[in-house]
C-alpha cells in the first residue's frame, strides 16, 4: 500500500498519542488512597470529561471503569476511522474482540445468575456507541437484549444472526450438563483468532506486521495457559484442549514444555521464547502467585511490539501501535482501581503496571 495512505493515518493519530497517561501520572494513580481518588486524578487527564459525565450515576471502581471504557471505545473508533480503506478489514476483525469480550461477560453473568444491572456497567461501550465499535455488529441495546434472555441457550440462539451462534450452539447441551462456561468461551476465542488471522492475509504489503503482532499475543496467552495449568496441577490433556493455534509455539510442543515438575521448571523451559520470564519465579516461590509472570510477559510483549512497530510508521503498524497502547492503558487503570479497592499500596501495584514501560 502506498506510504502516503499511512502518512495521512499517522497525521491523524499522532496528536492522540500525547493523550496517553505519563509514567508520572501512573505513579500518582498507584499512590492514590482509594478508587475515588483514582477517579479524581483521572479528571485532570483525557478521561476528565467521561469521569465528570458519569459521576452523577456512579462512584468508586464503577466510575473509573465507565469512564475508562468510554474513552477506550472512542480511541478504537478513531483508529478504525484513520485506517486506510485497504487495511480496514483486518482492523475490523481485530476490534471484534470487544464484541466477544462483551458476549463472554454476558454468558458468564447468565451462568452465574447475576442481574443485568451488575453487568451492564462493565460492557465495553460508550453511551449510544456500538460496543463493538463501527467494526462490530452488536449495539449496546443488542447486548442489553442478550442480558435479558432467560438462558444460555436463548443467548446462543439470539447470537445466530450476528454470526456467533454457530460457534456457541453446539456447546449448549454440554453446558447444561456440566454448568461449565469455559468450553463456550474458549470456542469463541478460537473462532476470533481464526477470523482475524484469516483477515490478515488479504491486504497489501503489511500482513506480516499484523501476523507477528497476533502471533505474539497468542504465544502470551498460551504461555499463561501452561503456567496456570501447572500451578493448578491440571492434566496435560486438559491444557492441550485449551490451546490456541496461530502462535509460534506449536501444540506439538506442549508435552515437552508441560512435562516439568513445577512452575519454576516450566518457566525455565519457556525462557528461550520469553527471556524475562524468570523474573516471576522469586515471587511465585514466595507467594504461589502467577501475577508477576503475567506482568513480565505482558510488559515484554508490549515493549517488543511497540519497538518493532515504531520502526515502520508509514504502515498499518501505526494503527496497531495506537490500539495496543489504548488496551494497555485501560488494563493498567483497571488494575489500579481494583487494587485500591482491596487496599493495595503503590509498592505492590507499580511492579504490576505495563504502560509506564511501554
Rounded to whole angstroms, the Cα distance separating 256 from 28 reads 44
User: Is the model's pLDDT at 119 over the cut of 70?
Assistant: no
pTM of the predicted protein model: 0.87
3 state DSSP class of 15: helix
pLDDT band at 127 (very low <50, low <70, confident <90, very high): very low
Report the interhelical angle of 182-199 vs 207-231 (nearest 10°). 160
Least confident stretch, 6-10, 27-31, 197-201, 319-323: 6-10
Reading the block at residue 21, the C-alpha cell is: 497517561
Rounded to whole angstroms, the Cα distance separating 233 from 297 reads 21
Cβ atoms of 255 and 266 within 8 Å: the answer is: no
**pLDDT digits 0-9 by tens, 37-95:** 999 999 999 999 999 998 998 899 989 988 998 899 889 889 998 988 878 888 989 99
Extents of the domains making up the chain: 1-83+325-358
Instruction: State in words which class domain 1-83+325-358 has.
Output: mainly alpha
Concatenate the DSSP letters of all residues of 163-212 into one string: T-HHHHHHHHHHHHHH---HHHHHHHHHHHHHHHHHHTTSSSS-HHHHHH
pLDDT, position 128? 37
Ramachandran angles phi, psi of 126, nearest 5°: -145, 95
**Where does residue 215 rank: exposed (0-12), middle (13-18), buried (19+ CB within 10 A)?**
middle
Amino acid at each position: 500500500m502506498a506510504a502516503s495512505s499511512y502518512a495521512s493515518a499517522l497525521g491523524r493519530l499522532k496528536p492522540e498519542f500525547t493523550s496517553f497517561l505519563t509514567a508520572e501520572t501512573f505513579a500518582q494513580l498507584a499512590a492514590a488512597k482509594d478508587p475515588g481518588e483514582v477517579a479524581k486524578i483521572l479528571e485532570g487527564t483525557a478521561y476528565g470529561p467521561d469521569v465528570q459525565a458519569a459521576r452523577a450515576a456512579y462512584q468508586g471502581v464503577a466510575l473509573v471503569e465507565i469512564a475508562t471504557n468510554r474513552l477506550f471505545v472512542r480511541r478504537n473508533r478513531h483508529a478504525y476511522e484513520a485506517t486506510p480503506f485497504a487495511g480496514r478489514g483486518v482492523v475490523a476483525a481485530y476490534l471484534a474482540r470487544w464484541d466477544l469480550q462483551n458476549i463472554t461477560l454476558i454468558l458468564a453473568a447468565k451462568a452465574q445468575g447475576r442481574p443485568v444491572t451488575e453487568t451492564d456497567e462493565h460492557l465495553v461501550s460508550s453511551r449510544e456507541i456500538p460496543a463493538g465499535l463501527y467494526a462490530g455488529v452488536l449495539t449496546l441495546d443488542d447486548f442489553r437484549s442478550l442480558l435479558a434472555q432467560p438462558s444460555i441457550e436463548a443467548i446462543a440462539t439470539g447470537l445466530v444472526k450476528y454470526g456467533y451462534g454457530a460457534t456457541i450452539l453446539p456447546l449448549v447441551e454440554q453446558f447444561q450438563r456440566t454448568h461449565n462456561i469455559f468450553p463456550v468461551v474458549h470456542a469463541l476465542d478460537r473462532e476470533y483468532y481464526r477470523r482475524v488471522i484469516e483477515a490478515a492475509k488479504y491486504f497489501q504489503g503489511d500482513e506480516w506486521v499484523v501476523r507477528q503482532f497476533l502471533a505474539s499475543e497468542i504465544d502470551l496467552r498460551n504461555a499463561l495457559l501452561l503456567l496456570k495449568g501447572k500451578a493448578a496441577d491440571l492434566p496435560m490433556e486438559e491444557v492441550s484442549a485449551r490451546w490456541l493455534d496461530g502462535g509460534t509455539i506449536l501444540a506439538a510442543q506442549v508435552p515437552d514444555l508441560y512435562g516439568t515438575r513445577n512452575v519454576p521448571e516450566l518457566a525455565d523451559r519457556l525462557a528461550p521464547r520469553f527471556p524475562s520470564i524468570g523474573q516471576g519465579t522469586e515471587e511465585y516461590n514466595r507467594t504461589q502467585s502467577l501475577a508477576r509472570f503475567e506482568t513480565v510477559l505482558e510488559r515484554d510483549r508490549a515493549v517488543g511490539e511497540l519497538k518493532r512497530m515504531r520502526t515502520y510508521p508509514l504502515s498499518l503498524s501505526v494503527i496497531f501501535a495506537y490500539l495496543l497502547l489504548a488496551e494497555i492503558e485501560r488494563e493498567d487503570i483497571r488494575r489500579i482501581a481494583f487494587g485500591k479497592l482491596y487496599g493495595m499500596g503503590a509498592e505492590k501495584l507499580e511492579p504490576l503496571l505495563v504502560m509506564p514501560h511501554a
